[in-house]
Structure 1
Amino acid sequence: MFIHADGIKRSISAPGIGNYLTVGRALDCLQQALADSGGLQHSFVMAHGTGTPQNRVTESHILDSLAGAFNIQQWPLAAVKCFLGHSIGVAGGDQIAAALGVFQQGIVPGIRTVTGFAEDVHQTHLSLSNQHRDFGSAHFTGALINAKGFGGNNASAALLSPSWVGRFLKKRYGDQRWHDYQNKHESVQSSQHQYHDAALTSIPASIYRFGEPEIKGEQLSISSSAINIPGYRPLHLKTDFEY
C-alpha cells in the first residue's frame, strides 16, 4: 500500500495530486507482480467512487491517465459505494472485501445507480458499466484498491489474487510445504463456509457487553520495560531498533 498527502492546494477539501502518486506506485507494483500472469490486462480497479461531481472528474482522470501510462486498454472499474454508501469506518475495507469476491467469482459489479455515465468522466482507458460483468473466475490475478482523500491522505494498494499468491508460495517454499499448508487450511475453509452459510440464513447474534468488568489504569503494572494487563499477556516496550 502506498500513501501520499495532497500537498499545497486551494482549500482543505479540494482534491490534490497525491492520488496520482499512490496509483502510479501501486500500478508499478502490480505490473512487476503480474509480469508472468498475463500482465495488467488481467487486473481491475476498485475506485473510491463516491460519485460526486468533483470526485467523478478527478478520480477518473487519475485512473484513466495512469492506465494510459501503463498501456492498459479498457481497465475494468468497479465502485461498490453505489451499493454500500460511504462507510463511517475504513471504506477501503469494503473495496477489499468486494475485490476478494471478484477474484472468487470473476464478476465485476456494475455501477447500478446510473443509467449512463456523465460526459466529464474520463474513460479512454477505463471500462465502466452499469451491468454486472462475468469475466470468469480464472481471469483476474490482481486489483488496485484506491482510497482518495479529499483534504487528507490518499492510499492505493496492490491486491493479488489467491491463485497468484498460491503459485508464489508454492514456488518459494516447495511442493511439500505447500501441500502441508493446504491440509492444515482445510479446517479454516470449513469454518469459512459455515460462517458464510449462517450469514445467509440467519441474523448473527450481536455482541453486547455492557456492564462487564472493565480494566482501569490503576490495575496496570507499569515499568519502563513492560505494561502488565490483568488477564492478558504483558506488552513489552523494548524494541530491537538500534539508534
Structure 2
Amino acid sequence: MPILPDPTEIPVVLKRLVKPPTLDFETALWEIFYLLFAPRRVYKQLYYRKQTKNRWSRDDPSFVILLVFFLTVSAVAWGLAYTSGAVAILRMVLYMVVIDFLATGFAIATVGWLLANRLFKKSSPATIGGVSDEELEWAFCFDIHCNSFLIIWVSLYLVQFVLLPVLTLDNWLSLFLGNTMYFGALSYYFVITFYGYNALPFLEHTEMILFPIPVVAALYLCSLFGFSMVKHMSSLYFN
C-alpha cells in the first residue's frame, strides 16, 4: 500500500517559486531541448539528483513555469485567432493550462504513482548511496507528465495552430496529416512516460506503459476512414 505523498516536499518548490534568483531556467531550457531530440539523456541526470539531493523529483519549478508560459501564449494565440473578446480568451487560457495540463496531469500522475508503487516495484528494492528507494515520489510522476506533455504542446498547440487552415480542408490528405499528428503526439507521450519510469532502478515491467500505443494505433487506422481529429477537437474548443 503506497504511502501518501509527504506534504513537506511541497514547500521546497513553493519557496523557489517566490524567489526568482533561485530559479534555473537555463537547465530547464536544456531539458526542453533534449526532451525533444534525445529524451533518454534527460533521465540520465536522475541519478545525480538522487545522490546529491536524495530525491527523484525536481525541486526547481522552472520547467513547469516555462511550460505554463508556452501554453498561455499558445492559448492567447488560439483565442485571438478563433474567438472574440477577452472573456473567451481567458476561458481558453484557463482550459488549456488548468484543465488540459494541470488537472489532467494531476490525474495521470496519481494513476502512475499508484501503479508504480503497487505493480511495478521490485520485490527487492534497489539502493543508491545506501538510501532505500521503496517509495516513488508523487512529484516525480508529475515531472514525468510534464516532460511527456512537452511534445503535446509542440504538436497539438503549436504546429496544429500553424497548419490548421490546411488540416481542416475537406480532403483525405488533410485528414491523414491531422490524424497522424495526433497519433504521433499521443504515442510519443507514452514513450517519454515509459522512459521516465523505466529509468528508476527499483521498478520493473514498466514496458506495460507502452500498451496503450497499439490501442491508439488501431483507433488511428479506423479514423482514416473519415473521422478528423482536428475538426473534432476544434469543434469542442470553439463550438
What's the TM-score, normalizing by structure 2? 0.28
Q: Which has the higher helix share?
A: 2
Bigger radius of gyration: 1
Q: Which has the higher strand share?
A: 1
What's the TM-score, normalizing by structure 1? 0.28
